[in-house]
Structure 1
Amino acid sequence: MSDTTPTATQLPAQSPPVDPAQTTAAEHAAAALAPAGGRIPFWSGAGGEGARRNLGLLATLVILVVIGIATRPDLYGDANWVWGNTLTILKLASVVGVVTVGMTFVIIGGGIDLSVGAIVALAGVWCTTLATQSYGAGGMIFSALVVGLAVGVVNGVLISYGRLVPFIATLAMMVAARGLAAQISEKQTQVSNSQFINGLASTKVLGIPLLVYILAAVVLAGWVLLNRTTFGRRTVAVGGNAEAARLAGINVRLHTLLLYALSGLCCGIAAIMLTAQANSAQAAMANLYELDAIAAAIIGGTLLTGGRGTIVGSLLGVIIFSTITNLFAINGLSTEAQNMVKGGIIVAAVLVQQVQFRGLGGRFGGKRASTA
């Protein structure tokens, strides 16, 4: 007779019931935060969409160059003129390009910033006051960056913690910042006396303007931040599904604040660049830069509803618009016609986005696709 006493069978502990909606949201967030190694191959499917889109933008640039050759063969026949004109286009794109990098982050994160032009103006006016210029070039650069960053933080606080709609908050900031810039400057143009600041626009390194190098540095930093850091993955997650990001442990409010702070910092950099180009600053500077930056981001493939976009695409969008402006200038066409063409391009880009987004939604069972 065995001494062993039978024991009750141990059953595995059961976890509490989980809300299916929360499970799905958490899965979406985990997918957005996952490293790039598990994504769809580079060229095929949704994973290659960014590469295909960028090639399309490059093809658009080639078409614009062909149009330029056809309409002004006398100019494009001169190799020196072509090189100089290319540098002019890049220099023209540099200031708006820096603003567009910050705008791209904001839009990918599910927001919008209508105040970027006004922030550039306010930072430019602030850094060219006599009091600020008395501290030299270092004081001017520092003040422009701090003003841009501070206004961006205010936008972020109003949107994240004040629960204001981004459109309304940044629209109010656009009006307020322009008004403050006009009051500080007394509606006068403030001349920059700093030889260092003024020389930024005329200095060339290896034959390329220094402003182009600044743009390249900002674009490279933005690309690394978006594609190679946790901050970038969280930006995509917040823009793709804010509730899912919250369930995944992301502080959505703080992250949104940081996105607007980043946009403001880019505006501070752009203010220095624009002041260097004009050797002065005024409250009316950087007019409609917000529309140019948003349009360039859209052309580059950034989804207006958030969750998708690329820095390279936004840069190509800026260069395309700068090339169009240059093409109209060398052909003596009016600004009104140029604006109509730009408007048509923006509408076409949004329509293409909608068609692509519907296709992705149907392909993946209606789930939202987000790519960095």
Structure 2
Amino acid sequence: MNTTARNAAPPLLSRIRFRDAGTVLGLILICAIFAVLTPTFLTVPNLLNILQQSSINACIALGMTLVIISGGIDLSVGPVAALSAVLGAAMMVAGVPVPLAILAAIAIGVACGFLNGALIAWGGLQPFIVTLGGLSLYRALALIYTGGTPIFGLPAEFRAFTNGNMMGIPNPVLIVAVLAVSAWVVLNKTPLGEYFMAVGGNPEAARVAGVPVTLTKLSAYMISGAMASVAALILIGRLGAAEPTLGTLWELDAIAAAAIGGASLMGGRGSIFGTLIGCIILGALRNGLTLMNVQAFYQLLATGIIIIVAMLIDRATSGKQG
């Protein structure tokens, strides 16, 4: 397996870099257009606002990218975030120390990811079906636990951290930067990253080559659950409340960002850097259209067009490289 992977690495690497460069050019083009149409777009406060608004989707999308690379999909990230948020918020309000409540909320996300991964890896069920069921299950648990009402009264120190900044850079952006670097290291510098690629590319060949396919799938979904929990904590810190309906359609934004960034929905290929640029593209697009007072309906239209174009580009570049 090592020899095969080594021989396949250069063309795969060049393809990923080609897609990353194209994604960056797309971001530059979008920024240039909005810079002409609205003078406030390229101001430092607005650019920081775009990064901060993109941080929640980036957390989700980083985990989603690893799941997609490993050949899966996770439609339950929004409800997992909601369940983590309400349980974590309830612990904080009840007087549990903030650091312990944060760890517990992330552990809930990991547990949900483990359940998804176990049903897929051990149960042999399709990721789409399992996580679609999880979407309803985790949302229902969040609604049942709260009775459908938000949880208020989050500690001031927790809100101060999530809304704070370091040298002018919002803390959520710094958190995403740390998570992105960690995900990049895992994907590109560890055996687990090689396993994600191998399992996503050809699970049976990976199994024959000695890759722990079951543990690899479990790891991907557990990381995805943890990232969803972090995103939820960032949001409830900004809002000051945890709602059981939090995270609606987050899974679609995350999949869109990963796809725009070059991740193949067939598995075996993806880029952490590309996913981050994909998140910023979506954030910049929505921000620019909002500054221009464009209705939300047209923002959805523009987002859909960008996703379709990204898929067409992916198909075209894959054909050239392959």
TM-score normalised to structure 1 length? 0.83
* Other structure's SS at 2:43 match: helix
Amino acid at match of 1:62: I
Q: Is the CA contact (8 Å cut-off) linking 1:192 and 1:280 kept in structure 2?
A: yes
* Aligned-pair identity (%): 34
Q: Is the CA contact (8 Å cut-off) linking 1:133 and 1:193 kept in structure 2?
A: no
Report what 1:189 is aligned to: 150
Report what 1:126 is aligned to: 87
Q: Does 1:69 align with 2:30?
A: no
User: For 1:257-295, what per-residue CA distance to the aligned partner results, in whole angstroms no more than 9, with x for missing partners?
Assistant: 111111111112112111111111111111111000000
Q: Is the CA contact (8 Å cut-off) linking 2:15 and 2:321 kept in structure 1?
A: no
Q: Please state how far the C-alpha of 1:197 moved relative to its aligned partner.
A: 1.6
Amino acid at match of 1:31: T
Q: Please state how far the C-alpha of 1:193 moved relative to its aligned partner.
A: 2.3
Q: Does 1:297 align with 2:297?
A: no
Q: Does 1:95 align with 2:56?
A: yes
Measured in 2, the distance between the counterparts of 1:92 and 1:130 equals 26
Cα distance change on mapping 1:192 and 1:232 into 2, 3 Å: farther
Report what 1:355 is aligned to: 316
Q: Does 1:169 align with 2:142?
A: no
Amino acid at match of 2:16: G
Report what 2:225 is aligned to: 264
Amino acid at match of 2:176: L
Q: How does 1:27-46 map to 2 (within 5 A)?
A: 30-32=3-5, 34=6, 39-40=9-10, 46=12
Q: Does 1:180 align with 2:146?
A: no
* Aligned counterpart for 2:21 among listed residues 30, 55, 59: 55
Measured in 2, the distance between the counterparts of 1:284 and 1:227 equals 35
Q: Is the CA contact (8 Å cut-off) linking 2:142 and 2:244 kept in structure 1?
A: yes
* Aligned counterpart for 1:141 among listed residues 99, 102, 108: 102
Cα distance change on mapping 1:150 and 1:214 into 2, 3 Å: same
Report what 1:317 is aligned to: 278
Report what 1:336 is aligned to: 297
Q: Please state how far the C-alpha of 1:46 moved relative to its aligned partner.
A: 4.6
Of 244-253 and 188-197, deviating more is 188-197
Q: Please state how far the C-alpha of 1:63 moved relative to its aligned partner.
A: 1.4
Amino acid at match of 2:224: S
Q: Is the CA contact (8 Å cut-off) linking 2:91 and 2:101 kept in structure 1?
A: no
* Aligned counterpart for 2:47 among listed residues 86, 89, 96: 86
Report what 2:234 is aligned to: 273
Amino acid at match of 2:255: I
Of 227-236 and 53-62, deviating more is 53-62
Q: Please state how far the C-alpha of 1:359 moved relative to its aligned partner.
A: 2.8
Report what 2:267 is aligned to: 306
Report what 2:180 is aligned to: 219
Measured in 2, the distance between the counterparts of 1:48 and 1:133 equals 52
Amino acid at match of 1:326: N
Report what 1:104 is aligned to: 65
Q: Size of the alignment, in residue pairs? A: 322
* Other structure's SS at 1:328 match: helix
Q: Please state how far the C-alpha of 1:131 moved relative to its aligned partner.
A: 7.2
* Aligned counterpart for 2:77 among listed residues 112, 116, 121: 116
Amino acid at match of 1:52: F
Q: Please state how far the C-alpha of 1:69 moved relative to its aligned partner.
A: 1.9
Amino acid at match of 2:79: A
Q: Is the CA contact (8 Å cut-off) linking 2:15 and 2:317 kept in structure 1?
A: no
Q: Please state how far the C-alpha of 1:148 moved relative to its aligned partner.
A: 0.3
Q: Please state how far the C-alpha of 1:39 moved relative to its aligned partner.
A: 4.1
Measured in 1, the distance between the counterparts of 2:275 and 2:162 equals 23
* Other structure's SS at 2:163 match: coil
Q: Is the CA contact (8 Å cut-off) linking 2:58 and 2:176 kept in structure 1?
A: yes
Measured in 2, the distance between the counterparts of 1:146 and 1:228 equals 25
Q: Is the CA contact (8 Å cut-off) linking 1:103 and 1:297 kept in structure 2?
A: yes
Q: How does 1:3-18 map to 2 (within 5 A)?
A: none
Cα distance change on mapping 1:222 and 1:131 into 2, 3 Å: closer
Measured in 1, the distance between the counterparts of 2:207 and 2:105 equals 34
Cα distance change on mapping 1:274 and 1:130 into 2, 3 Å: same
Cα distance change on mapping 1:68 and 1:167 into 2, 3 Å: same
Measured in 1, the distance between the counterparts of 2:127 and 2:285 equals 30
Higher relative contact order (CA 8 A, sep 6+): 2
TM-score normalised to structure 2 length? 0.96
Measured in 1, the distance between the counterparts of 2:239 and 2:141 equals 21
Cα distance change on mapping 1:39 and 1:156 into 2, 3 Å: closer
CA RMSD of aligned residues (A): 1.7
Moved over 6 A (4+): none
Measured in 2, the distance between the counterparts of 1:292 and 1:232 equals 23
User: For 1:330-359, what per-residue CA distance to the aligned partner results, in whole angstroms no more than 9, with x for missing partners?
Assistant: 000011100011111111111222222233
